[in-house]
Amino acid sequence: MELKVYNIKGEETGKVVSLNDAIFAIEPNDHAIYLDVKQFLANQRQGTHKSKERSELAGSTRKLGRQKGGGGARPGDIKSPVRVGGGRVFGPVPRDYSFKLNKKVKQLARKSALSYKAADNKIVVLEDVNFNAPKTKEYVEMLKNLQVADKKTLLILSESNKYVYLSARNLKDSKVALADEMNTYGILNANVLLLTESSIAKIDKIFNA
């Protein structure tokens, strides 16, 4: 697949880049995508939820009623789960939600996500983006020039650029990621994928390593 290259003004540069069919044109594997997204979301969970069971509450363990004459079963202590303010039965406890996923499955999931974006024509190729200072206004102007200002975008860079990251940080629907750190969830969550020329080469290198 060949795509035109645009500059930050939204103008065609006259250059064309070829996307590797082994990465951007495979038969997507939906189950691999599901597993990778599930792992990503699971890793975001802190797992610090906790409620107290009856053994962890402070309170007397004396019987609350007399032995006979109550007309029913004798009530237990004040920490009983059936009483207001009592302990909780089988409540949540801190746990780790993360789980292992093979590298090949994660790689297949990312390729599948990229192939979906390519098939839907949701990829825009840019010249390498470089700002001399954090300028959110300039970043918004770039998105307007590319006619994607009203969409969720993910800009993929080949290497870290502090000023580009800071320029997009305050924009709710604009994310910036490095080629070697992009994940399946981020790719699919974006309406449009913005790839720089150098990031395409970096992506090709990552998957062919």
201 lies in the same domain as 155:
yes
129 lies in the same domain as 188:
yes
133 lies in the same domain as 38:
yes
87 lies in the same domain as 118:
no
106 lies in the same domain as 189:
yes
Residue 183: strand, helix, or coil: coil
135 lies in the same domain as 200:
yes
Report d(CA 114, CA 190) in Å as an integer: 11
Q: Is 172 left (phi over 0), alpha (psi -120 to 50) or beta?
A: alpha
Higher pLDDT, 159 or 209: 159
Instruction: Decide if 201 is inside a domain.
Output: yes
pLDDT digits (tens, 9 = 90+) for 137-174: 999 999 999 999 999 999 999 999 899 999 999 999 99
26 lies in the same domain as 108:
yes
Give the range of the structural domain holding residue 82, as residue numbers without chain letter: 51-91
Q: Over pLDDT 70: what percentage of the chain?
A: 100
Domains identified in the chain, total number: 2
Q: Quickly count: other Cβ atoms within 10 Å of residue 124's Cβ.
A: 19
pLDDT digits (tens, 9 = 90+) for 110-135: 999 999 999 999 999 999 888 889 99
pLDDT digits (tens, 9 = 90+) for 84-105: 989 999 999 999 999 999 999 9
